[in-house]
Amino acid sequence: MEFTDILRIATVGIILAFLHLFFEQTGKKEFTFFLFVFGYLYMAAEMFRFLAIFFDDLQTFFHLFDKDN
């Protein structure tokens, strides 16, 4: 996980928070639900990507599938 990953997640969170406030103020609360769904789906996709990177690093570290051994 790099610093750019953290910045990307924070940027999406801040944009979603401002859009949520905007839609709450304009009275369009049905759009806020879709914002939260988008946020949860985005975070789930990012977590799956981070887990894939993590397990790839573990596999490399322990040489689990090394054919030379």
16-42 tens-digit pLDDT: 999 999 999 998 888 888 888 999 999
Residue 30: what pLDDT? 87
To 5 degrees, how large is the angle CA 45–CA 48–CA 50?
110
pTM > 0.85: yes or no: no
Distance between CA 68 and CA 12 in Å, rounded? 44
Distance between CA 28 and CA 21 in Å, rounded? 10
**Continuous segment of H or E residues that includes residue 52:** helix 29-62
Q: Tokens for 12?
A: 């999406």
Residue 63: what pLDDT? 81
Distance between CA 44 and CA 46 in Å, rounded? 5
